[in-house]
Structure 1
Amino acid sequence: MQALPTVDIAVLVIYVTAVVAYGSWFVRKSGTTEEFMAAGRSLPGWAVGMSIFGTYLSSNTFLGVPGKAYGTNWNSFVFSLSLPIAAMIAVAWFVPFYRNSGQISAYEHFEKRFGLWARTYAVICYLLAQIARTGTVLFGVSLAMQPLLGWDLRLMIIGTGIIVTMYTLLGGIEAVIWTDVMQSMVLMVGAVVVTGLLLFGMPEGPMQAIEIAREADKFSLGSFSTTLTESTFWVVLIYGLFINLNNFGIDQSFIQRYHTAKSDADAARSVWLGALLYVPISLLFFFIGSSLFAYYQTHPDRLDEVRMQVAEERLVAEGIPADSERVRELASELTPEDIGDKVLPNFIVNKLPTGMAGLLIAAIFAAAMSSIDTSLNSSATILLSDIYKRYVNPDVDEKGSMRVLYAGTLLWGTLGTGAALAMIGVKSVLDAWWELQGIFAGALLGLFLLGLIVRKADNVAATIAVVLGVLSLVWLTFSPRLPDEYDWLRNSLHANLTIVAGTLSIFLVGLIVSFFRKETS
């Protein structure tokens, strides 16, 4: 794949510089803890909603969703269809709950409800997850863009980490939200441009793309079977509902946004805007993936180029000499799923007008930065409110609190960047970490719902529920790897249902224990 022209690289540098300058400009509005963590609780609902939308519309969406649609079909789009359902629940219960509590932390109420252990457990799970999330986003976007830019992967990771940490530290949550707004708009415009170029780049016009994709079953939402062992329409819908309830209900980065809105009505509108806007935009990205499939079917020379690129990268990663014969042999064996993530970057470089390609890649980088800045700000907030004030100095003054917020932003920026560097060449370790992290984080939603819905649930019921729930999550995650002689112990559910089963096990165990404790008391 050819590298970006100098003009596109210049556009990239100018755009990223402008984003950083814009985010840093909010330093004048982030001089107090209230401004740094909650933007003075003064932002309009539409801006907060665009920021929520931007959290979903990350660089992973821009690159990963088209790649998924290219390689398979629209089954994963069903995840987006669960958002309005989750938003309805969030507006009815979650937003009022947090707005009425006045607590900037999403986890302070865990201590009041079940004891200090519950709050500590939630905080540890969240902070570790944010290190992994920051590292994953930094590593993923740098890995995807490195072939286009020709820059050193480690320098890209470190440079991006430094940039986003700097403007997050200076501008606080208001910088996060307003840069999210700007970057989301650029990404949406970019998606429309890519769609137009794809459709009108077909030899026989736009309808040819639709026809080729339809014949390849690229528009399928998956089977409507009731089986729970495959990625059916219903399995993805249920999975999406629980993931989005997790986001709206216990994710600090979302909870913090509720508090930045100037009124309860604005907070509710922000949830609806973020959810409802993402559905059609995610649909557009899936359509881009299907159109890319059709486009490359009619441009076999460019398809061969992508195949050769992926094959060479795989051989190099495995330490195998990437001579032309080996590359061609492996390239011929690759499936659409193997090359899905590479087709959009290839199209951007080869088909977008000079300047536009640079702007679009800059927007993808900016989207990655939006995901990271959210993690850094929310992690610093948790460090102050749930760790420093709770364990170290409950009476810390405003000046001391700001020092902790600045130090927390630097700390989590450094840890996230370090995690990204550690991920280079150790994909299996990354996969194992995400499975372990999912075991503990998956238990939080069940604990939250238990406390919110089951009024009789106490510390004993919650402790038993979490212990049994975590054990069930361990079994759900790792039992499929058991040797054949232990086949009868394996979990046969689809992997997407792990969080569903884990959440329900905690909630139901807590409900049952609470019932019997009430009966025996």
Structure 2
Amino acid sequence: MQKLYWIDWIVLLVTLLGIVAYGTWQTRGSKNVQDYLKGGKTSKWWTIGLSVMATQASAITFLSTPGQAFNDGMGFVQFYFGLPIAMIVICMVFIPLYHRLNVYTAYEFLENRFDLKTRTLTAILFLIQRGLAAGITIFAPAIILSVVLGWNLMLLNIIIGILVIIYTVSGGTKAVNVTQKHQMVIIFSGMLVAFFIIISKLPQDITFNKALEIASASGKMNILDFSFDFNNRYTFWSGIIGGTFLMLSYFGTDQSQVQRYLSGKSVKEMQLGLLFNGLLKVPMQFFILLVGIMVFVFYQFNQAPINFNPNATEFVLHSEFANDYKSLQQESDVIFNNKQKHITSYINSENPDSEKYIASTNNANDDVRKKAKSLIAKAAEKQNIKIENNDVDYVFIYFILNNLPRGLIGLLLAVILSAAMSSTSSELNALGSTTTMDLYKRNTGEKTEEEMVKASKWFTFAWGILAICVACIANLAENLIQLVNIIGSIFYGNVLGIFLLAFFFKFVKGKAVFIAALITQIIVISLYFLDLYEFINLPFLWLNFVGCAIVITIAMILQLTHKNDRTITT
């Protein structure tokens, strides 16, 4: 387990407690619903843009994405190719409509267009998926920090959750927005510092360009994949098609994002904020992946463990497979030493085949890492204990704790926890708003401003407690960033289809949409589990497109066969 020095503790605590205190103090005294749920509609475009970005960029982004690049290269950036397209569509279609109707949540529009039951169903679908995601955004950094630092997992979940609850409940949407600006500054600063420190720790004769060449020789710089291979999760086509539908649904219909830009001072401010996010998000993700690539290059010159999860390594070394694991470690040492010769030859252009040898030695090391994971899994199965053998999410934090100077470790830990707090606060804020406006107010009649604010605070608090509970019982998936996107993909396509029906298919009525949405959700969940158990091959990103297409098709068929249903239009 790693040890933090006093300077790291000071940096970490001052940063986190400062954010909580600032958010609570700046937004004290929100007395009416407009202030509490829409932040008084005073946000400028840069605040909206940074808030939207901070909501999406959770701790999972800064923990998992570098590890994703370390393992699989830059191809994951294709996941975001649909984002700019989605931003343009939302600015042209969604924002003007939401502003004209003066809605508090995206789902209010659906009652005007369809009926109450469609609004309620869509709101419930959002609450389910976002409630689960809120727990994961707390759990993700907690589980990893608990492993590498030896901190108590449940206590970490509770601390992160309570810090977020304090200022989110206190100040509502404005508290989320004002704190996220500062959290993004911390996050960007921390990642830039980490990047330059990695470069500085490479051998003196290894420039940034040479580092990229080494990564390229190992196949890590392959960004674009134009194949239609469904065995490949991330391709140009899955990013442009599946990614566009996912981003349309996330930014256009997910209240955690919609609430960010509904706080805008005007339609122009909202649109500029989203366009700012669309322009900056892909380069930001590219940079975070590049950090992971530089970590990969660093470990071309410095011996890496065959598994970055220290708990998993310790466990297998105290099992009956200890000798087998030690043999794999020795095999990795031999591969590493051979690789140094080929890298030196490649840099000095001494051997035209050296690039091929670098790739082959890295492939051999990957095989050793796979065998290590298999041994860990066998040891866990033998003792009937759950041990996470996949170490993608541990790569970056392992590097931070073992290679960064004192003080900067505290800063990077603050980056991770700030990201967790920023995304979780947006989610809790949106969960509280949706529960208040779409379920509580709509089904209990008119309430006073004070009663509505009080109800929203209590619902936000309740969702915060539920998120902490989900975090305390959650289990690690193959990769945390994928887990969040999988949960979203299961629900987002259906929800987006409902909104597209509302926007563009005026002849379709509420009853047809409601039935189609129920059927579609069952189908999409079934498709996911059929893929999970390898009965079919459908990467999760495509669920966004498939779900959207299915709900639109079924609703149109039902409407055409039930022409007597009454029209409810805006």
Q: TM-score w.r.t. structure 2 length?
A: 0.83
CA distance in 2, matches of 1:258, 1:47: 9
CA distance in 2, matches of 1:274, 1:268: 10
In the alignment, structure 1 residue 309 sits paired with structure 2 residue 344: no
Counterpart in the other structure of 1:235: 238
Measured against aligned partners, the alpha-carbon deviations of 1:252-293 in whole angstroms (never above 9, x if no partner) come to 122212221111100000101112111111111111111111
CA distance in 2, matches of 1:76, 1:129: 23
1:110-189 correspondence runs (5 A): 110-189=110-189
CA 1:370–1:435: 2 relative to 1, 3 Å? closer
TM-aligned CA deviation for residue 344 of structure 1: 1.3
SS of the residue aligned with 2:391? helix
TM-aligned CA deviation for residue 434 of structure 1: 8.9
Identify which of 438, 456, 480 aligns with 2:507: 456
CA distance in 2, matches of 1:362, 1:197: 17
Identify which of 494, 511, 521 aligns with 2:556: 511
> Are the equivalent residues in 2 in contact too, given 1:310–1:339 (CA < 8 A)?
no
**Bigger mean CA offset, 234-243 vs 359-368:** 234-243
CA distance in 1, matches of 2:99, 2:255: 13
> Are the equivalent residues in 1 in contact too, given 2:73–2:219 (CA < 8 A)?
yes
CA distance in 1, matches of 2:489, 2:96: 27
SS of the residue aligned with 1:289? helix
Measured against aligned partners, the alpha-carbon deviations of 1:22-62 in whole angstroms (never above 9, x if no partner) come to 11113325222211111110111111111011122221111
SS of the residue aligned with 2:27? helix
Measured against aligned partners, the alpha-carbon deviations of 1:125-159 in whole angstroms (never above 9, x if no partner) come to 11122221111011111112224433211111111
Corresponding letter in the other structure for 1:152: N
CA 1:28–1:132: 2 relative to 1, 3 Å? same
Counterpart in the other structure of 1:101: 101
**Bigger mean CA offset, 71-80 vs 87-96:** 71-80
1:216-365 correspondence runs (5 A): 216-231=218-233, 232-300=235-303, 303-304=304-305, 307=308, 309=310, 311-312=312-313, 315=316, 321=319, 325=323, 328=326, 333-335=368-370, 338-365=390-417
In the alignment, structure 1 residue 212 sits paired with structure 2 residue 221: no
CA 1:304–1:248: 2 relative to 1, 3 Å? closer
Corresponding letter in the other structure for 1:399: E
CA 1:452–1:369: 2 relative to 1, 3 Å? same
> Are the equivalent residues in 1 in contact too, given 2:492–2:544 (CA < 8 A)?
no
CA 1:305–1:78: 2 relative to 1, 3 Å? closer
CA distance in 2, matches of 1:246, 1:322: 49
Corresponding letter in the other structure for 1:212: I
SS of the residue aligned with 1:280? helix
CA distance in 1, matches of 2:487, 2:82: 25
What's the RMSD between the two structures over aligned residues? 2.9
Return 5+ residue gaps in structure 2 as ranges: 333-367, 374-389
**Bigger mean CA offset, 410-419 vs 123-132:** 123-132
Counterpart in the other structure of 2:350: none
CA 1:142–1:38: 2 relative to 1, 3 Å? same
Identify which of 401, 408, 412 aligns with 2:452: 401
SS of the residue aligned with 1:334? helix
> Are the equivalent residues in 2 in contact too, given 1:308–1:328 (CA < 8 A)?
no
CA distance in 2, matches of 1:473, 1:198: 42
CA 1:343–1:380: 2 relative to 1, 3 Å? same
In the alignment, structure 1 residue 479 sits paired with structure 2 residue 530: yes
**Bigger mean CA offset, 123-132 vs 175-184:** 123-132
Counterpart in the other structure of 2:383: none
TM-aligned CA deviation for residue 405 of structure 1: 1.3
1:372-451 correspondence runs (5 A): 372-392=424-444, 394-423=445-474, 439-451=490-502
TM-aligned CA deviation for residue 322 of structure 1: 8.6
Return 5+ residue gaps in structure 1 as ranges: 484-489
CA 1:188–1:322: 2 relative to 1, 3 Å? farther
Measured against aligned partners, the alpha-carbon deviations of 1:42-96 in whole angstroms (never above 9, x if no partner) come to 1111111110111222211111111111110222101222211111101110111
CA distance in 1, matches of 2:169, 2:531: 43
% identical aligned pairs: 29
Larger Rg: 1 or 2? 2
CA distance in 1, matches of 2:502, 2:188: 39
CA 1:290–1:481: 2 relative to 1, 3 Å? closer
Corresponding letter in the other structure for 1:96: P
TM-aligned CA deviation for residue 305 of structure 1: 7.5
CA 1:360–1:242: 2 relative to 1, 3 Å? same
Counterpart in the other structure of 1:51: 51
Counterpart in the other structure of 1:487: none
> Are the equivalent residues in 1 in contact too, given 2:198–2:294 (CA < 8 A)?
yes
Structure with the higher fraction of residues in helix conformation: 1
CA distance in 1, matches of 2:472, 2:45: 37
TM-aligned CA deviation for residue 368 of structure 1: 0.2
CA distance in 2, matches of 1:434, 1:411: 24
CA distance in 2, matches of 1:322, 1:20: 47
Corresponding letter in the other structure for 1:379: L
> Are the equivalent residues in 1 in contact too, given 2:57–2:423 (CA < 8 A)?
no
CA distance in 2, matches of 1:305, 1:237: 35
**Bigger mean CA offset, 337-346 vs 451-460:** 337-346
CA distance in 1, matches of 2:37, 2:191: 32
TM-aligned CA deviation for residue 117 of structure 1: 1.7
